[in-house]
Amino acid sequence: MSHLFSPTSVGNVQLSNRIVIAPMCEYSAQDGCANDWHMIHLGHLALSGAALMFTEATAVEPDGRISPGDLGLWSDETEAALGRVVAAVRRYSPIKLGIQLGHAGRKASSAEPWNGGQLVPPSEGGWQGWAPSAIAHKASEPPPHALDEAGLARVRQAFVDSARRAIRLGFDAIELHAAHGYLLHQFLSPIANQRQDAYGGSLENRMRFPLEVFQAVREVVPASMALGVRVSATDWVEGGWDLEQTIVFAGQLKERGCEFIDVSSGGVSSQQQIPVAPNYQVPFAAEIKRQVGMPTITVGLITEAQQAEDILAQGQADMVALARGILYDPRWPWHAAAQLGGQVAAPHQYWRSQPREFKNLFGETHFGQR
Ligand SMILES: Cc1cc2nc3c(=O)[nH]c(=O)nc-3n(C[C@H](O)[C@H](O)[C@H](O)COP(=O)(O)O)c2cc1C
């Protein structure tokens, strides 16, 4: 039996295979509200046969959006808008749904990537970000506000409030975004965090706020859902956040009831030098899995079925996440199942597409109106 198509679980959530759809910002929401684009985007990926799909980074407060088009979950309106998409996906697909909750910190108020991605200052209609320290991501950018005690309490509470909304919406999993140079990663990294108080300096102090946020969210998330964290395992900058610190952080998360870790890298510094190549982040996941022993997701330039199968067969990770590869080929899991002799859930409406040579491709499914 193929490793990729063997079942697993995160916390109490059962997954039919090891394929995860990574969070992908769409920059297409209005005032944080999901719309028909999200219905189409998440809707079509929900038919892919992957076991678990994450929403894009979803902001816990309006100032925590990367761009004005980010999804949010901070109000009844944003909750209702996302609820419409979740209900439609649930009606037609057995895919497990995760939400990535995040705060952009000093990388907030940016233009959409197709409009250049640059920071938009308040003078041009943007807003000022919030961060551990008043240090801009790039020297040319206006600095963010440094969060004071009241600001820290506000953001911590915003994560909890959004988590409560995600619970109400019936998500199966929550992933806290502590990667890619956004707020929680900014606290971890000495590059962005130069605070002099209990939240900066030593590793213990830099981990304090992300761990407080995790713990506060942990207290409200029921055991029926899985709660995990996405980390950047390194800043790819000398003197920055690195694998050794990530392993300590992951251990602390595990002690506090973290049920999975999703291992990415980079994003906090424009000085980063990333040796991008297939599997380039897999060794980080493998080491975290070996030393911490939490269900581990690896991600980053995994594009081939055999490549994914080998990662799992070698025990380097428990799940494989895809972003660009599954945008390019939304039936990637079907093709992988055909190649590796696995089975995928497919909607009855599509069963006639099963190629003659792959007779058992479509297994028993739970598709159909629920
Ligand atoms: C369009 C797009 C949007 C993304 N948005 C997010 C996001 O919201 N949150 C996140 O953690 N990563 C985000 N990423 C990063 C992916 O989740 C993934 O880690 C990265 O693309 C590497 O995987 P890949 O090589 O399979 O694309 C995004 C990537 C793409 C291509």
User: SS3 string of 338-359?
Assistant: HHHCCCECCCHHHHHHCCCCCC
Side-chain half-sphere exposure of 81, counting CA atoms within 13 A: 21
What backbone torsions phi and psi does residue 329 show, to the nearest 5 degrees?
A: -135, 90
First CA to last CA across the chain, in angstroms?
Answer: 30
Cα gap 262→176, rounded to integer Å: 10
Cα gap 91→43, rounded to integer Å: 10
Active-site pick, 182, 199, 280, 328: 182
Cα of 321 to ligand 1 centre, how many Å? Answer: 10
Q: Which of 91-105, 170-184, 349-363 is predicted with the least confidence, judged by mean pLDDT?
A: 349-363
For 139, left (φ over 0), alpha (ψ -120 to 50), or beta? alpha
State pTM to two decimals. 0.97
Is 56 within 8 Å of 5 (Cβ atoms)?
no
Q: What is the pLDDT of residue 363?
A: 76
pLDDT digits (tens, 9 = 90+) for 267-295: 999 999 999 999 999 999 999 999 999 99
Tell whether the model's pLDDT for residue 138 goes beyond 80.
yes
Q: Which two tokens stand for residue 195?
A: 């605070």
Q: Which two tokens stand for residue 284?
A: 């980080």
pLDDT digits (tens, 9 = 90+) for 344-369: 999 999 999 999 999 899 976 555 54
Q: Which two tokens stand for residue 8?
A: 């697993």
Cα gap 64→72, rounded to integer Å: 9
Tell whether the model's pLDDT for residue 1 goes beyond 90.
no
* Secondary structure of residue 179 in the 3-state scheme: coil
Res. 150 pLDDT band, cuts 50 70 90 = very high
* Secondary structure of residue 101 in the 3-state scheme: strand
Res. 32 pLDDT band, cuts 50 70 90 = very high
Regarding the beta carbon of 106 and ligand 1, being less than 6 Å apart is answered no
Average pLDDT, integer, range 216-236: 98
Ligand 1: which of 48, 55, 324, 328 to mutate, judged by most atoms within 8 Å of the beta carbon? 324
Q: Which two tokens stand for residue 352?
A: 């006639």
Cα gap 170→91, rounded to integer Å: 13
Regarding the beta carbon of 56 and ligand 1, being less than 6 Å apart is answered yes
323 to each of 80, 83, 270, 286, 303, how far by Cα in Å? 26, 23, 22, 20, 9
Does residue 182 have an active-site annotation?
Answer: yes
Name which residue sits closest to atom 14 of ligand 1, judged by CA: 24
Cα gap 14→224, rounded to integer Å: 10
Average pLDDT, integer, range 160-189: 98
Q: DSSP letter at 344?
A: B
Is 57 within 8 Å of 182 (Cβ atoms)?
yes
Point out the ligand 1 atom lying closest to the alpha carbon of residue 180: 11
Q: What is the pLDDT of residue 367?
A: 57
Average pLDDT, integer, range 89-112: 97
* Secondary structure of residue 212 in the 3-state scheme: helix
Average pLDDT, integer, range 154-161: 98
Res. 370 pLDDT band, cuts 50 70 90 = very low
Point out the ligand 1 atom lying closest to the alpha carbon of residue 301: 25
**Average pLDDT of the chain, as a whole number:** 96
Res. 304 pLDDT band, cuts 50 70 90 = very high
Ligand 1: which of 19, 21, 24, 100 to mutate, judged by most atoms within 8 Å of the beta carbon? 24
Average pLDDT, integer, range 207-234: 98
